[in-house]
Amino acid sequence: MPAASIKSDMMKVMIPPIKCQGIKSKLVPFIKRTVDWSFEGRWIEPFMGSGVVGFNITPRNAVFADSNPHLINFYNAIASGKIDGLKVREFLAQQGEILSKCGQDYYYEVRERFNKTHEPLDFLFLNRCCFNGMIRFNRKGHFNVPFGHKPQRFSKAYITKIVNQVDYVYVMSRHSNWSFICQDFKETLRGISGDDFVYCDPPYVGRHVDYFDSWDEENERYLFEILNQSPCKFILSTWHSNQHRENTFLETLWSGFQVLTKEHFYYLGAKEDNRKPMLEALVMNFTPKHSHEEPTQRVEQLLLLEKLAEYQRNERSVS
């Protein structure tokens, strides 16, 4: 791949294969400009969610942790090679064809199957054709998001896009020291050291709550106690305000830290009227030096993109 093309890819935001509510893809450039880190230690995410920030930071060493076992199982399946782009393409083409013929009945059949077997590819299928790409589990730990009303969802172009996203995670995790761990945030933050960098994107209090993803004031205070004594730099992603209210924790718990804000829009439904503005906040225990500059391109990032391009060329020749 030509150097100019690789550098162009460096500027793109790499979207993860699993979608979720509150994904920070449009905020990645803002967050990357804010990160001030030597890359000597570990990149640590106690609330992995989509993983979009860490996947775009491309650290040498990383711990991606989450309390949702299905999310972690999916990424461990990629990292181990159990799932790769070829398998994803074949699976989604086959399942997508059945979905186009049978519609929502087949979606609910796969949902029931997943809730029994917990197969990672079924999780991907459901995530990509459920309503709004939500991840939600009930009290029994069952995925319960309804169908997204698009039986023709899996076109060849859409499948290729997902395959490229899976390839990206596979190559990056294969050539880096990335761990995907299912555990509580308290456990993840227990062993942080001075060279690490912690990125926290916890659920917002009272919002997006499900069986694996609940958050309350007690958790917020516990997180504050840990980060307030952090030996390393951290960034906390949270919300500042919307048209109805403000985040009072920024004026109480987090008032002693640096705060940067940026307006962001979330789609909460299928209609344009549901495009709600939110002022996002980054809370950090350092003064950002380059928040108005493009992040420096690291040589190892360029090398990883070269490996990705080579892997995808070989994959296409096999298919």
At 190-248, the pLDDT tens digits run 989 999 999 999 988 755 556 576 788 999 999 999 999 999 999 999 989 877 788 89
Beta carbons within 8 Å of 190's beta carbon, 6+ residues apart: none
What residue has token string 């500059």? Answer: 293
At 79, list the tokens. Answer: 């990292």
Please give the pLDDT value at position 7.
46
65 neighbors 188 (Cβ within 8 angstroms) = yes
| pLDDT tens-digit map of 146-165 | 999 899 999 999 999 999 99
Beta carbons within 8 Å of 203's beta carbon, 6+ residues apart: 22, 47, 209, 213, 214, 215
CA 297 to chain centre: 21
0.85 exceeded by the pTM?
yes
Topology, domain 3-82+161-313? Rossmann fold (3.40.50)
Please give the pLDDT value at position 148.
94
Q: How many CB atoms lie within 10 A of CB 256?
A: 9
**How open is the CA angle 51-158-313, to the nearest 5 degrees?**
80
For residue 254, what is the DSSP state? T
DSSP string, 115-151: HHH--HHHHHHHHHHBGGG---B-TTS-B-PPB-S-T
Q: How many CB atoms lie within 10 A of CB 287?
A: 8
What residue has token string 């935001």? Answer: 13
Please give the pLDDT value at position 305.
77
Please give the pLDDT value at position 5.
46
Low-confidence ranges of the chain (pLDDT < 50): 1, 3-9, 269-270, 272
Torsion over CA: 6, 11, 12, 14 (sign) = positive
> Whose CA is closest to 284, among 250, 242, 247?
250
DSSP string, 235-250: EEEEEEEESS-B-GGG
